């Protein structure tokens, strides 16, 4: 499969199209972070792709470029919101906050996934595996990944031992071991089974 292109955006006509994606559904710790990006068709950076398919250095370079040539909004949903609602609803909250943070409201939104968030106030289309087909969604995935990784590295300085600077809060073997030996922090998602089981052991 080739790189994402701009065909989905172009097919919508001469309007402002935002791509939105989130990062951080699977971790045991930290918020879920979303980004929304409106690309300038005449200034699309080369090499946009699903953030997971890019090296850290390439993601960082592309994120810097995007901040200079595109409209970008970022939003997040907290651990408390993840636990109060669920990770899907929290992801949608982060997406809506990211779009609301854009300098100007988009005319249409391309949402990564198979579901447009309920109560979505913008015309929108869900795009399955959107970060592999839409340049706008791929751009959003890059910005969101960079922002969340930076946040988790910062948290790792305050909560050493969990390996967040490398595992970004995902349930690696070392992270699970640290949970058992060091305990649960305020940044852990208590509704997620590995954390819940430690908190509520018989």
Reported as type and span, the H/E element at residue 125 is: strand 124-127
Which is nearest to 41 in space by CA: 132, 111, 147, 134?
Answer: 134
Q: Which are the contacts of 15, defined by CB distance < 8 A and separation ≥ 6?
A: 107, 108
* Cα angle, residue 112 at apex, residues 167 and 85 outer, rounded to 5°: 70
Three-state SS for 167?
helix
Q: Is there a binding annotation on residue 21?
A: yes
Q: Is there a binding annotation on residue 22?
A: yes
Query: Beta partners for 29?
Result: 188
Q: Is there a binding annotation on residue 50?
A: no
Known binding-site positions for a divalent metal cation: 21-22, 112
Binding-site residues sit at 21-22, 112
């Amino acid at each position: 499969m080739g790189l994402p292109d701009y065909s989905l955006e172009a097919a919508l006509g001469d309007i402002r199209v935002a791509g939105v994606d989130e990062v951080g559904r699977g971790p045991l710790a930290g918020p879920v972070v979303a980004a929304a990006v409106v690309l300038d068709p005449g200034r699309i950076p080369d090499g946009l792709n699903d953030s997971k398919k890019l090296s850290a250095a390439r993601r960082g370079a592309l994120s810097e470029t995007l901040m200079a040539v595109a409209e970008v909004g970022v939003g997040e949903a907290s651990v408390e919101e993840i636990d109060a609602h669920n990770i899907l609803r929290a992801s949608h909250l982060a997406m809506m906050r990211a779009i609301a943070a854009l300098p100007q409201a988009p005319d249409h939104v391309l949402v990564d996934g198979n579901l447009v968030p309920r109560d979505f106030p913008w015309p929108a289309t869900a795009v399955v595996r959107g970060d592999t087909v839409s340049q706008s969604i791929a751009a959003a995935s890059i910005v969101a990944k960079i922002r969340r990784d930076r946040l988790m590295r910062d948290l790792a300085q305050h909560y050493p031992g969990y390996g967040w600077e490398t595992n970004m809060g995902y349930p690696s073997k070392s992270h699970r071991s640290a949970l058992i030996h060091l305990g649960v922090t305020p940044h852990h998602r208590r509704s997620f089974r590995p954390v819940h089981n430690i908190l509520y052991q018989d």
